[in-house]
Amino acid sequence: MSDDYLWDRSGPEDPEIARLERTLGMLRAQDPPAPLRLPERLPDTGAAPGAITPVGVPPIGVTLSDGGNRERALPGLGRRFVLPFAVAATLALAVATLYLSVNPYGPRPSWQISRLDGTPRVSSQAMREPTGRLPVGEWVETDGQARARIRVAHIGHVDIEPDSQVGLMSTRPGDYRLRLERGALQALILAPPGQFHVETPAAVATDLGCAYRLSVDERGDSELRVTSGWVSLDRPADQAASSPKTPPSFVRSGAMCLAKPGAGPRTGPGTPFMEDVSDGFKAALRVIDFGDDGDARAAAFERVLVESRPADVITLWHLLARMADPNASERAYRDRLFDRLAAFAPPPKTVTREGIQAGDSGMLDRWWDSSRLGPRRSGAR
Amino acid sequence: MIHGVLLARVPYGDVDDLVQDVFLLAMERLDTLREAGAFRGWLATIARNRATDHLRRAPQTMELPDDLPSNESTADRTEAAAALAIIRTLPEAYRETLILRLVEGFTGPEIAAQTGLTEGSVRVNLHRGMKQLRERLEQQAPARARARDERDDRDERAGRDGRDVKDERS
């Protein structure tokens, strides 16, 4: 079914969306509350709500300035209460104004953002100045001509490419977090591993001391290319609970990794591979990671086993790690993957074929660490 | 629109008060608005910040009060609460857009105009948010059906017990 009904209610009605509209519609904003009527002698506040009304703001429920024609209010109170009430109200308004001018929302963590090209939009407003602030919870959008740079606390920066949408999710020390909803960004991070994260619809990229490019296409598929250091790619937390438990993908400099959104098998981060592998090798991995079962899958395993080189040990290790519980037809491939990986990176004595066949994740990690395939994995799970 | 922005973040019972707060804040800070055309996006930003501030200070409260202004049945209210709870578990980018579409009744182009987001972003958020919402509704469908059956059984037993008491008295 097309998204026309979801977008603007054109096209055939989508029954599920229509039902949600009916059900959730009961939570819709009700009529504005009755205006708060101010006492006859309340001093003029000087506020000018009329400045807001031309752009279509609904009433705020407070009638402040309508010339001398204020409605008579508080009819149940005697005139002796009016003056104390007015004084108290004025004092309260003054205190509130002072508080708001000093600290309108409490501390608002934000990062500096700079305009590199064109006119990015920050917090839904065109960015006119060369630099500005991006508060937590807000978004940067770039069109086909715009680029922007976000300074990530004191640990690096992120360049946002054209046609992108990036949100700032967290600035807590140890949990610096952006979300890339669409488009692409390039990150350069100089910080201890595990502090900087970029969420996408399909994965979470965690910096392990690195530079990388991350992109998200219109389907939400993600592509990671690491140009320096290491990046881990894991499932988003909200998709992990209902998905097979697999170790995160560790992607090294010169390597790539794809990810597909969704929960369940054949989604999430795929197997990392070196950028210089053949197109056929890449296609075979795509079938293994995201394709259906069947003959194509068998052919894909064959291709990877035959074409893999010493430089592809990371690919072989990840494939082996994801075959902890293979079906009968794939058990043979697990044994051949073991042999192929062992030929390029001999396992330590404490790692046995039987242990790997039994899905012993500790053995897999020891193999990774002893062969110095990348950052230590033992204890990382 | 402000109602939807807040509902994406704070308990239903707090939304109306916060709508008032947002407009009062907007009046106080009107001099910080540089472009009249950006007013709605600016207002949405104030609402998001106010919601964040509210959550930081106030503990989470019960989601839907019994006096929900609606003529709908308890079952409908329960379903609305369940759907809202699921939407709240979605990534933030989808949450607000879906609530503006499904609760407040705006179309995609209207959401873009109201929030200041580009139509491209709104379209992506709607499409991906709805996809995830469908998946999670599907996952929870068996549990919801079981809860509905149990509720029906309970109601039926309560009705039968009531009739039994009447019969005994008569």
Task: State whether residue A149 is helix, strand or coil.
Answer: strand
For the segment A301-347, what is each residue's pLDDT rounded down to a tens digit? Answer: 999 999 999 999 999 999 999 886 667 777 888 899 999 999 999 99
R_g of chain A computed on alpha carbons: 29
Token look-up 């009430």 returns A85
* CA gap A198, A182 in Å, rounded: 12
Token look-up 């009916």 returns A22
Phi first, then psi, for residue B66 (nearest 5°) are -65, -30
Most confident of A37-41, A61-65, A202-206, A331-335: A202-206
Whether B36 has its CB under 8 Å from any CB of chain A: the answer is yes
Contacting residues of A for B53, CB less than 8 Å apart: 105-106
Q: Are B7 and B52 in contact (CB under 8 A)?
A: no
Contacting residues of B for A218, CB less than 8 Å apart: 124
Whether A327 has its CB under 8 Å from any CB of chain B: the answer is no
Q: B151 pLDDT exceeds 80?
A: no
Interface touch A29/B104, C-beta < 8 Å? yes
Whether A136 has its CB under 8 Å from any CB of chain B: the answer is yes
What's the pLDDT at A69?
A: 39
Whether B120 has its CB under 8 Å from any CB of chain A: the answer is yes
* CA gap B78, A351 in Å, rounded: 53
Give the closest-approach CA distance of A353 to chain B in angstroms. Answer: 38
Q: Which of A7, A9, A26 sits opposite B76 (nearest CB)?
A: A26
Interface touch A24/B102, C-beta < 8 Å? yes
What's the pLDDT at B31?
A: 76
Q: Please enumerate in sequence order all residues whose Cβ is within 8 A of that of A2, keeping only pairs 6 or more positions apart, or say none.
A: A11
Q: Please enumerate in sequence order all residues whose Cβ is within 8 A of that of A267, keeping only pairs 6 or more positions apart, or say none.
A: A202, A239, A243, A260, A261, A290
Can you tell me the mean pLDDT for A115-122? 94
- Hey, what are B52's tokens? 């964040």
What's the pLDDT at A44?
A: 43
Task: State whether residue B32 is helix, strand or coil.
Answer: helix
Contacting residues of B for A163, CB less than 8 Å apart: 120
Specify the CATH number of the domain A111-270.
2.60.120.1440
For the segment B6-59, what is each residue's pLDDT rounded down to a tens digit? Answer: 888 888 888 888 888 888 888 887 777 767 777 777 888 888 888 877 877 765
Q: Which of B16, B36, B102 sits opposite A55 (nearest CB)?
A: B36
Q: A252 pLDDT exceeds 90?
A: yes
Can you tell me the mean pLDDT for A91-120? 67
Q: Which of A21, A106, A124 sits opposite B38 (nearest CB)?
A: A124
- Hey, what are A132's tokens? 């500005």
For A4, which residue in chain B has the nearest alpha carbon?
B108
Task: Give percent above pLDDT 70 in chain B.
Answer: 73
Taken as a whole, chain B contains a residue count of 170
R_g of chain B computed on alpha carbons: 20
pLDDT bucket at B117, cuts 50 / 70 / 90: confident
For A18, which residue in chain B has the nearest alpha carbon?
B102
Which sequence spans correspond to the domains of chain A? 15-102, 111-270, 290-381
Closest CA to A122 of B57, B45, B156: B45
Please list the residues that pair with A62 across neighbouring strands: A36
Interface touch B118/A201, C-beta < 8 Å? no
* CA gap B96, B99 in Å, rounded: 5
Q: How would you classify the pairing of strands A175-189 and A196-199?
A: parallel
Contacting residues of A for B25, CB less than 8 Å apart: 100, 104
Can you tell me the mean pLDDT for B105-133? 91
- Hey, what are B19's tokens? 């709508």
Please list the residues that pair with A92 across neighbouring strands: none
What's the pLDDT at A71?
A: 38
DSSP E strands in A51-203: the ranges are: 110-117, 121-122, 125-126, 131-135, 139-142, 147-152, 156-160, 164-172, 175-189, 196-199
Q: A62 pLDDT exceeds 60?
A: no
For B9, which residue in chain A has the nearest alpha carbon?
A137
Can you tell me the mean pLDDT for A73-86? 48
Q: A113 pLDDT exceeds 50?
A: yes
Interface touch A29/B19, C-beta < 8 Å? yes
What one-character DSSP code corresponds to residue A373? -
Helix (H), strand (E) at residue A257: strand A255-260
Q: Determine the residue type at A90.
A: T
What's the pLDDT at B71?
A: 58
Q: Angle at the Cα of A272 (from A281 to A183), degrees rounded to 5?
A: 100
For the segment A180-230, what is each residue's pLDDT rounded down to a tens digit? Answer: 999 999 999 988 889 999 999 999 999 988 899 999 998 999 999 999 999
Please list the residues that pair with A211 across neighbouring strands: A188, A228
Q: Which residues of chain A from 47 to 76 reach within 8 Å of chain B, CB to CB?
A: 47-49, 51-52, 54-57, 60-62
Can you tell me the mean pLDDT for A254-271? 91
Q: Is A308 exposed, middle or buried (0-12, 13-18, 19+ CB in 10 A)?
A: buried
* CA gap A99, A93 in Å, rounded: 10
Whether A105 has its CB under 8 Å from any CB of chain B: the answer is yes
What domains appear along chain B, each with residue ranges and CATH number?
A: 1-62 (1.10.1740.10), 72-170 (1.10.10.10)
What's the pLDDT at A168?
A: 94
Contacting residues of A for B30, CB less than 8 Å apart: 48, 51-52
* CA gap A18, A233 in Å, rounded: 37
How many interface pairs between A and B have CB atoms less than 8 angstroms apart?
184
Contacting residues of B for A104, CB less than 8 Å apart: 25, 28-29, 49
What's the pLDDT at A92?
A: 58
Is the pTM above the cut of 0.80? no
DSSP line for A219-242: T--EEEEEEEEEEEEE--HHHHTT
The residue that leads in pLDDT, B4 or B140, is B4
Give the closest-approach CA distance of B165 to chain A in angstroms. Answer: 36
What's the pLDDT at A323?
A: 83
Whether A46 has its CB under 8 Å from any CB of chain B: the answer is no
Q: Are B29 and B39 in contact (CB under 8 A)?
A: no
Give the closest-approach CA distance of A315 to chain B in angstroms. Answer: 30
State the average pLDDT for chain A: 80
Range with the poorest average pLDDT among A44-58, A153-167, A311-325:
A44-58
For A52, which residue in chain B has the nearest alpha carbon?
B27
- Hey, what are A81's tokens? 């209460």
Closest CA to A340 of A350, A359, A353, A322: A353
Torsion sign over Cα B16, B21, B23, B24? positive
Q: Angle at the Cα of A220 (from A168 to A139), degrees rounded to 5?
A: 20
Token look-up 């250091």 returns A229
Contacting residues of B for A238, CB less than 8 Å apart: 89-91
Interface touch A125/B68, C-beta < 8 Å? no
Closest CA to A64 of A87, A38, A85: A38
What's the pLDDT at B165?
A: 56
Can you tell me the mean pLDDT for B68-75? 61
* CA gap A257, A275 in Å, rounded: 9
Whether A121 has its CB under 8 Å from any CB of chain B: the answer is yes
Task: Give percent above pLDDT 70 in chain A.
Answer: 76
Whether A94 has its CB under 8 Å from any CB of chain B: the answer is no
Contacting residues of A for B63, CB less than 8 Å apart: none
Cβ density class B42-68: b for 16+ within 10 Å, e for less:
bbbbbbbbbbbbbeeeeeeeeebeeeb
Q: Are A111 and A153 in contact (CB under 8 A)?
A: yes
Interface touch A165/B93, C-beta < 8 Å? yes
Can you tell me the mean pLDDT for B165-169? 58
Task: Count CB-CB contacts under 10 A for residue A220.
Answer: 20
Q: B66 pLDDT exceeds 60?
A: no
